[in-house]
Chains A and B, each alone.
Chain A
Amino acid sequence: MIETNLDNIAQQSAFRHIHPGTKLLLALGSLIICLVSPFPAVPLISGIVLSLVLIVPGRISPRVYGTILLGPAVFTAISIVVLLFMLGGGEVLWRFNPLPWIDLSITSGAVRESMLVLCRVFGCSISLFFITLTTPISDLFNGMKRIGIPIELIDLMMIIYRYIFIVYDQAVEIWNAQVMRLGYSRPREAVRSFSMLCGMLFISSWIAGEDLIRAMDCRCYNGIMPSLDSAEPVMWRSLVPVLVYLAGLGGILLMMTAGMVAVS
């Protein structure tokens, strides 16, 4: 059983019952604003505000939230270090010249650019996390149908989504059985065990697939996968704050742009 997966957090989110369209508007709206903003402050503000919204009224435990952010944070940190050395422009702030043919330097332009990238990544990832942490994928299927994604594709997605958990459970069971019998104690053993795990998983998925067809036949399958009962209606109570927030964020961006134009 996957205990702390994103989908479980979304199922228990305090925002679960808000119409998915409203949440998508917030997430995509702030994502776009973060992307177009040439100032690091805008995505930074967006990221901080959305994080606070997720934690305080959204009731996600800060520890869990921190753990989730850790993955992208490590990845971003590494990329930023590379960017610092790769980008140029402006005056040189720091130079490292260990060997004649290796010249590493950090310039003020690189710092400015990397800060912007860092804040954008921060703002954008949190926008995306906002939707993943508040909306279980099953709530989105209805919306996908409405915007015209082919029904066959959605049916497939629904079945795949359902089976992710079954296959994952099986993988964990096999893994535990192997670990209990010291399957991963030595590198050679580990490779052997892991390949065995993959093989077993393939076979059991195959069997699960055959069972799925049988289970569907048992219930008169005729090509229809029912969709979830229509979600809660769009509520002004949630839509208005989203619009106000997006307008505010957009306003800050416009003001800063206007300020920059005036200075130049």
Chain B
Amino acid sequence: MNIILEARDVRYRYPAGREAIKGISFHIRRGEKIALVGPNGAGKSTLLQMFNGMIRPDSGTILFDNKPVRYDTGSLRQLRKSVGYVLQNPDRQIIAPTVYQDVAFGPANLGYDEQAIRNAVAVALRHVGLDGFERRAPHQLSGGEKKRVAIAGVLAMDPDLLVFDEPTSGLDPSGSEDLMELLDELNHEGKTIIISTHDVELAYPWADRAILLLDGQILQEDVPDVAFGNPHHVRMAHLSVPTLLDLSQELGRRGFAQPERKPRSVLDMIHIIENLLNRSEGRTRTGTITVCDIDKEHDMPLNTWISSRQNLAVGAMGTRAKQRAGHEQLTLDFTYGVIDKCILRALRGQDSLILTTGSMAGRVVTRVAEYCRESGNTIAVIPLDTAGSVPYENK
């Protein structure tokens, strides 16, 4: 098993005297999405700061890549290159007077040459959807944009593990969803992601595993439906049971049979309810999901294609797909949880189009296939280049 980060009986007491971390042990595998959840003052931020060596535990060991973290300057630099840390308040993280300089800060200090710095900055800014912002001053940006600059600054160092302290604090709901989607995108590219949050609704569908922290100790560590499913622990940690989980538990209490896997999304919930009502047999036809890889089709008249189809919903997955939609002035129906929402539409017999980029297109196919296997439905996923006979007729 490929473990990227491990803590062994870590303890830490603040100089002022309060013991913030009281013996914590856990491990995180490469490529996992971890939510560290707990009330204020549970020690989330303190623990996170140990991951990149900002705080040195009084006792116990932190292991990165199976090697104990060393605290000499050289080792710390190496660690901080591999563990990107995004602070809660982007104003505290953005150092330089322009976006370019701030994103270039990490690469420049790592000793990259001029061309490599320029490339790293361009890639990072493109990733967070801020290309063209190079010369802007941070104080002119909105909260969400500042957050993205902060993330780009960390991405420019190309870390393996990304640590986010309260990533959605201060963002509006749509901004939060965009950000969570960006985290998904990064995870999909192979980055391990740890976030701290007290937003259970956000953490529940997103995380692979949740670690509940209370008073400097781990209360529970498990897959989200188990971690958030224990009402006693949830209450102790000053959290609340996620609505979907609550609903499913309530259905269970009323004697409706519940599947082994708890619902993580509206789609899962609909599936459960339809099963309970035996509705799925009566379905005449499912809709289709068309996937458009925006990297492949360069001068395709997307607008014409979309307007030629009736009752079509359009969703975009990934920052670049959303930007492209913006450039082509397409109205997006979905920007978050796109695949699930399109499956839901397909189940109602309606068609959808998903705009996305290379690697994520495969994810649509996998996710839909997975759903069909579990539910016994059939939904066609069509890549746009083969469905392309339609747009080219309209030319």
Contact indicator B134/A137 (Cβ below 8 Å): no
Q: Is B135 an interface residue (CB 8 A)?
A: yes
> Would A226 and B54 be within 8 Å (CB), given that A162-B96, A215-B92 are in contact?
no
Q: Name the distance in Å between B152's Cβ and chain A's nearest Cβ.
A: 12
Contact indicator B109/A229 (Cβ below 8 Å): no
Contact indicator A228/B106 (Cβ below 8 Å): no
Q: Name the distance in Å between A156's Cβ and chain B's nearest Cβ.
A: 12
Size class of the contact patch on chain B = 35 or more
* Alpha-carbon gap, A233 to B94, bound state (A): 28
Q: Name the distance in Å between B244's Cβ and chain A's nearest Cβ.
A: 35
Nearest neighbor of A219 in chain B, beta-carbon distance: B106
Contacts of A219 in B (CB 8 A): 80, 105-106, 109, 153-154, 157
Contact indicator A220/B96 (Cβ below 8 Å): no
Stretch at the interface among A30-38, A145-153, A206-214: A206-214
Q: Is B52 an interface residue (CB 8 A)?
A: yes
Nearest neighbor of B104 in chain A, beta-carbon distance: A226
* Alpha-carbon gap, A169 to B139, bound state (A): 10
Q: Name the distance in Å between B123's Cβ and chain A's nearest Cβ.
A: 14
Contact indicator B106/A208 (Cβ below 8 Å): no
Size class of the contact patch on chain A = 35 or more
Q: Is A103 an interface residue (CB 8 A)?
A: no
Q: Is A78 an interface residue (CB 8 A)?
A: no
Q: Is A260 an interface residue (CB 8 A)?
A: no
Contact indicator B95/A227 (Cβ below 8 Å): no
Contact indicator A220/B109 (Cβ below 8 Å): yes
Q: Name the distance in Å between B114's Cβ and chain A's nearest Cβ.
A: 9
Contacts of A227 in B (CB 8 A): 101
Q: Is B280 an interface residue (CB 8 A)?
A: no
Task: Return the CB mask of A227-258 against B: 1 if under 8 Å, else 0.
Answer: 11100000000000000000000000000000
Contact indicator B80/A224 (Cβ below 8 Å): no
Contacts of B54 in A (CB 8 A): 214, 217-218
* Alpha-carbon gap, A222 to B139, bound state (A): 25
Q: Is B110 an interface residue (CB 8 A)?
A: yes
Contact indicator B81/A165 (Cβ below 8 Å): no
Cβ contact of A136, chosen from B87, B106, B137, cutoff 8 A: B137
Is chain A's interface secondary structure helix, strand, loop, or mixed overall? helix
Stretch at the interface among A1-9, A114-122, A194-202: A1-9
Contact indicator B135/A226 (Cβ below 8 Å): no
Cβ contact of A161, chosen from B97, B108, B117, B153, cutoff 8 A: B97
Nearest neighbor of B98 in chain A, beta-carbon distance: A138
Contact indicator A162/B138 (Cβ below 8 Å): yes
> Would A162 and B97 be within 8 Å (CB), given that A11-B137, A219-B105 are in contact?
yes
Q: Is B136 an interface residue (CB 8 A)?
A: yes
> Would A228 and B135 be within 8 Å (CB), given that A219-B153, A220-B80, A222-B111 are in contact?
yes
Q: Is B297 an interface residue (CB 8 A)?
A: no
Q: Name the distance in Å between B119's Cβ and chain A's nearest Cβ.
A: 12
Contacts of A217 in B (CB 8 A): 54, 80
Nearest neighbor of B108 in chain A, beta-carbon distance: A226
Q: Name the distance in Å between A248's Cβ and chain B's nearest Cβ.
A: 32
Given contacts A7-B137, A165-B139, A219-B80, list 16 more A-B pairs with CB under 8 A. Answer: A1-B139, A8-B140, A11-B136, A11-B137, A137-B97, A138-B97, A162-B95, A169-B139, A216-B105, A219-B106, A221-B109, A225-B101, A226-B96, A228-B134, A229-B100, A229-B134
Instruction: Report 7 cross-chain contacts, Cβ distance below 8 Å, ordered by A residue.
Output: A8-B140, A162-B97, A166-B91, A208-B92, A218-B52, A218-B80, A219-B157
Q: What are the 7 closest A-B residue pairs judged by CB atoms, nearest first?
A: A165-B139, A226-B104, A226-B108, A219-B106, A222-B109, A138-B97, A211-B92
Q: Using a CB–CB distance below 8 Å, which chain A residues touch chain B?
A: 1-2, 7-8, 11, 136-139, 141, 158-159, 161-162, 165-166, 169, 208, 211-212, 214-229
